Structure formats: structure tokens, C-alpha cells
Amino acid sequence: MINFRKHLIYNNSPIRPALSQLNELAADAILFVVDEEEKLLGSLTDGDVRRGFLSGLTLEDVVDKFLQPNPKFLQKGAYTVEDVIYYREHNFKVIPVLCREGKIVNVINFRFHKSYLPVDAVLMAGGRGERLRPHTDTVPKPLLKVGEKPIAEHNLDRLVAYGIDDYWISVKYLGEQIEEYFGDGNNKNIKIQYIWEDEPLGTIGAVSKIEDFEHDYVLITNSDLLTNLDYENFFLYFTNQKADLAVVTIPYQVNVPYAVLETLDGDIKSFKEKPTYTYYSNGGIYLVKKTVLEYLPKGAFYNATDLMEKLIQEGKKVVSYPLAGYWLDIGKPEDFEKAQKDIHQIKF
């Protein structure tokens, strides 16, 4: 993935180095012209330079004279996923992202990004991984490798592919290793902050310690899962349902090998011959409105299921998102072995 700063050029730069930058960007050849505060002024492509030369400009002129004003952009905190889909479907391949002050803070490239979701992501990575001992005696479970990289990095990279910029990782057991491995996220063009659990806080309690989310929506996920979940589709389902909380659910079928009778006071009313029943289990991935996190008790042990139950009691809308794709909870040795095989066959 290209460092987004390679797409930036100052407005008073000579056009010659701009041509070199465009050449280096190759298939992604577009520059975003900024002032000294890195606020967006315009864009520059090979075509803009060519038109400038045809109008009499020369290699001695500065970028300012060639730029195309009013380029398309996304403003953080003031766009919808529908805006992103529009740009993607109308062949806008590289889009700058601005902060509220107009400064470029990222560049989205649809060759690498599937979307650009307006959410913060929290990865829960504080567990001991007791069932995977001795693997987890010296390495935290999220850093156990599946294929060529750690479990948690598979999750993180998929979230990055959906354009999520802002991350929190909840850590406790051997958390120093996790913090050292991922750092501040700069090498992935993202921002990572850490929440330290002094004592176990359940599957969601640590989220109560975060007070400065960037967005109105928060995605909370276990870090020891493997999934090819389409996060954009999950987000659109959540918003279209006008939900307060959505949970990814995993279909589980039970085949009954006999006829099942439905009775009332001993009388048979109907029966089903060898029926199949579908149940849904919790997939450990949640999308919530930031406002519902106010229900979390500060710094206390609290599970995601406690929050779901509380929201239902309060009359909030809690919905299920049945996953049609791949999902594996790496909790036991046999799951870990299965992950090693699946990683080479499942497109993540």
C-alpha cells in the first residue's frame, strides 16, 4: 500500500519534480496540491500538465499554474458510505480524505481499499488463551501465526482494507508484545491506541475506558477470529435497519433424524419428517452507535451479551447479521490446526 504522502505536493513546487512524482506513482498517477498547512488546493494529473504545456506554460512554472481546482474529496466525519460507493462505482480511483480544517489526513485508493467506513474499530486482545497452551505460554494468542502473520494482523489488515483509520486494541496478558508488534500503526497508514486492562473486564468492559472516539459508530471485534466478513455490507445492513447494535451471527444447523411431533395436551397436532433447524450463535463482532456505549459501567467487568440484554430491556434495536461467509473462532488446538489449513484456501 502506497504511503498517502506520496500523493501530496506543495503548490509552489516546480513542475519538474511533480512529473517525477507522477511517474513514480504509475497506475495511481494523481497528486493533490496543498498549501504550507497541507490544506487541499487542487489536483494534478499527467493530463493537467500536458494541457498546461499546450497553453504556454513551461518546466520553469510552478505547480499552482497547472492544478485542477475543486477536486473530489471525503471529509472525515461528514460523509456517508453511499458517497464512497458513488465514487467507487463512477471510477474515481484515488480520493483524498480531509479533516474538518481541510488538511489531507489520508488518501483512499480503490485498488487497495474496498471501502472507507466511518467507524472506529476496537480489537479485544487481552485474553490468556488458556486452551491453546503451551503455544500461549510465551506468546499472546492474538500474535500466534496463522500462515505468514499473526491472527490479529489478519483481522487488522482486513479492517484496513475497508478504509478504517482509527483503532484501539485492548490488551492485558503479554500486552507489551502486542503493543511492540503493531506500534502506533504508522506503517499501515492508520492510528492505533491501546487500552490496558489492569484486571479482566469481560468481552466489552474495556471499551468503557475510551472517551475520544473519532466517529459516531464503533466496531468491536474479538481479535482471535478468522473471517472474510464484508464489513461494508455489515455497516449498510446496520444503518438500513436503523439499529443501535448489530451482532454478526453464525448459522448452525441441527438435523433431526426422526419425525418431530408437535403436541397439545397429548394430542398430535402436526409433525415434521426429519426436520433441519437453524440456530444462530454469537460471532463476536459487533457494530454499535457510539451513544449506546454510555450504558457500559466504567472500568467494570462487562460482557457484550450484558450490553445486548440491557439495550433490549431499554427498548433499543438489537439486530442479527447472519454471516454467509467464512468464520472461525480460534479457541482450541483443533481450531488452530484448521486455521493453518484454511488460510491457504479462503480468500480473505
Q: Average pLDDT, stretch 116-126?
A: 93
- What is the CATH superfamily name and number for domain 119-342? Spore Coat Polysaccharide Biosynthesis Protein SpsA; Chain A (3.90.550.10)
Report the C-alpha gap between 131 and 189 in whole angstroms: 34
Name the pLDDT band for 348 (thresholds 50, 70, 90): low
The mean pLDDT value of the chain amounts to 89
* pLDDT above 70: residue 118: yes
**pTM, rounded to two decimals:** 0.87
Q: How far apart are CA 43 and CA 180, in angstroms?
A: 37
pLDDT at site 255: 78
Nearest to 42 by CA among 74, 14, 64, 12: 64
What stretch of H or E contains 333? helix 333-342
Run of H or E including 151? helix 151-161
What is the β-pairing status of strands 217-222 and 276-289?
antiparallel
- Confidence bin at 304 (pLDDT 50/70/90): very high
Residues 295-304 have a mean pLDDT of: 91
Task: Quote the CA–CA distance of 151 and 145 in Å, as a whole number.
Answer: 6
| Low-confidence winner among 38-42, 252-256, 285-289 (lowest mean pLDDT) | 252-256
pLDDT classification of 278: cutoffs 50, 70, 90 = confident
Whether 4-109 and 119-342 share one fold: the answer is: no
Q: How would CATH label the architecture of 4-109?
A: Roll (3.10)
What is the model's pLDDT at position 222? 92
**Minimum mean pLDDT among 42-46, 83-87, 136-140, 266-270: which range?**
266-270
DSSP reduced 3-state for 208: helix
User: How much of the chain exceeds pLDDT 70, in percent?
Assistant: 99
What is the rounded CA–CA span in Å between residue 172 and residue 168? 13
Break the chain into its structural domains and give their ranges: 4-109, 119-342
Least confident of 31-35, 94-98, 220-224, 332-336: 332-336
Amino acid at 89: E
Centroid of chain to Cα 197: 23
